[in-house]
Amino acid sequence: MFLILFFCFTIDEFFAAFPGKAYLGKYPDGTRFDADGDGRADSVAQIEAMYAQNAPRFSSALRDALGARALLIANTGGALVDAALNGITIEACDDEAQCAEWFAAQAAVAHAPPLSVVWLKGSSAEECATAALLRERFPFLLEGTDFYDGTHVVCNNATLSRARRA
């Protein structure tokens, strides 16, 4: 008998494009940011450029540090293709075709084994049906509950899946 251990790590808010404009805008006007540690304030454009240049380096270095057997997924808020990741997580897949495109693109370059997650934000019949269809198409896709608002969302995908095929 063999015991194979996998450790799973998730990077939150690891977006393809710099997410900082929304976050930096929460600070009072005139707040200065030194993102590169050189003692001088950096502009939002400079911080954006640093993010674009260093995000792939970060995921690659993280993969190297964690090792090949670790599962590394990122909450991307949408499209992201990164060979250091096993997969991505997406909250609220309202557009099935678009989410399928994102999951497929990441899976095409994913570090093996591929693993992605679709997070449920509510338990509407539409959201549950979309999740069920995505899971049927992508066997590496898991479904999870986004507990951010304190809810526990559960879909009866077995019933939905049979109903869609009928």
Q: What is the pLDDT of residue 123?
A: 65
Instruction: List the single range of 51-55, 77-81, 144-148 with lowest mean pLDDT.
Output: 144-148
The answer to whether residue 32 is domain-embedded is: yes
Stretch 70-91: mean pLDDT: 92
Q: Does the pLDDT at position 100 exceed 90? A: yes
Residue 94: inside a domain: yes
pLDDT, residue 1, reads 62
Q: Residue 157 is part of which domain span?
A: 8-165
The pLDDT of residue 162 is: 43
Q: How many domains does the chain have?
A: 1
Indicate if the pLDDT at residue 129 is higher than 70.
yes
In a domain, 3, yes or no: no
What confidence score (pLDDT) does residue 159 get? Answer: 45
- Residue 139 located in a structural domain: yes
Please check whether residue 103 lies inside any domain of the structure.
Answer: yes
30, part of any domain: yes
Q: Is residue 144 part of a domain?
A: yes
What integer is the mean pLDDT of 30-53? 91
Secondary structure letter of residue 28 according to DSSP: P
CA distances to 34, 73, 99, 106 from 78, rounded to whole Å, are: 28, 13, 8, 11
78 assigned to some structural domain: yes
Q: Strand 8-11's sheet: what is its strand order?
A: 8-11, 71-75, 87-91, 116-120, 141-145
Q: What integer is the mean pLDDT of 99-118?
A: 95
Predicted confidence at residue 88, as pLDDT, reads 96
* Residues of the chain above pLDDT 70, percent: 84
Q: Using an 8 Å Cβ cutoff, are 7 and 70 in contact?
A: yes
Look up the pTM and report it. Answer: 0.81
Mean of per-residue pLDDT scores for the chain:
85
Q: Report which of residues 125 and 107 the model is more confident about.
A: 107
